[in-house]
Every structure is written in C-alpha cells, then in structure tokens.
Amino acid sequence: MGCAMLVLAVMVKLATHSSGIVAAVMIFLFEAFFTWGWQGNVWCYAAEIVPLECRTKAMGLATGVQWTMNFLMIYVTPIGLANIGWKMYIIFACFNLAFFPVVYLLFPETGGLSLELLDVVFMDDTISPVKRAAELQHKIKRGETVQFQNELEMCNAEIKATTESVENVEPNHLP
C-alpha cells in the first residue's frame, strides 16, 4: 500500500496524461490491497485477541476508532491536497510503510490457534505474545498436541517459577 502511494505521488507530480492513468491505477491498487489485506483486521483480529469477557467492548472500541479515523481522513485529505498537493500522498506512504514493522514485530500471528489458545498467548507475562504465538504454531506444525489446559498449566508454571526466582533474590543482590 505504501509503494502504491509513492508511485501515486510521483505520477501526480509528473502531471501528464499517461501519469494520470497510472495514478488512477495506483488508487485502485491501494484500495484493493487495503480491503484485502488490512480492513478485515479491524473486525477479525480485534475479536480474536481480546478475552471473551471484554470482547464486545473491544469491538465497540475498534469500530469507534475506525469510524473516527475515517472521519479524520475524509476531513483532512482535501485540505492537505489543496495545500501541499502531491506531497500528501508521500505522507500517506510514510504512514503505510511505518505500519509494516509495527505489525510484524508487535502483532502476534493468530492463524491456526483457537480462541482459547490466544488467551494463553496473552496471559503469559514472561514472554512476548508474538513469541508465544510463534511457539504454539511451531508445536502445531511439528504435529504436537496443543490443548488449552496443557498450555495454561505450562503458562502458570512459568509464571510461578519466575515469581519464585524473584522472591528468592536476597536484598544485597539487588542493583
């Protein structure tokens, strides 16, 4: 999506008939990638990663944020295009490209995991949710049995071991 915005910015800057056609294609390409790759995340991902007891509130928040951002974009874009022209697309490209590492590094992959296992992914404070989700997916790919109860017990054991090791530190060993 970011690349489509960069190409769009260059084409609008060139302002020829051919570049106008390419710019129009880039807008449609951006919309296709946005719809297929990102828009579904608002509805699916938010529902998957939140515990059942607060899922409705989280979905309400996700919906509210989406509509607020839609309003903001619809309000700001014409002003930006009128004032800075094609450079507005550079700003869009920068935001799109900045989200790539954020999503890759901070959003755990949920494919192949049940909602119960996703609860375990976020319960364990001793390891990042991204790493915990990757561990569970590797177990599944190796053919190991991954059940909620077993993973929950292992998670609780890791938390207990971490707590005990912190409690056993003598005061003179603290920095």
Q: CA 159, 165, 167, 172: dihedral to nearest 10 degrees?
A: -150
Phi, psi angles (nearest 5°) of residue 51: -60, 155
Is residue 174 in a domain?
no
Whole-model pTM: value is 0.73
How does the average pLDDT of the chain come out, rounded?
85
Distance CA(9)–CA(14), nearest Å, equals 9
The C-alpha angle 59, 42, 152, rounded to 5 degrees, equals 65
Q: What total number of domains does the chain contain?
A: 2
Taking only Cα atoms into account, the Rg of the chain, rounded to an integer number of angstroms, comes to 23
Digit-coded pLDDT (tens) for 125-164: 788 889 988 988 888 888 887 766 666 666 666 666 655 5
Domain boundary residue, one of 106, 127, 144: 106
Distance between the two ends of the chain, CA-based, in angstroms? 47
Same domain, 134 and 93: no
* pLDDT bracket for residue 170 (50, 70, 90): low
The residue segments making up the domain with residue 80 are: 2-106
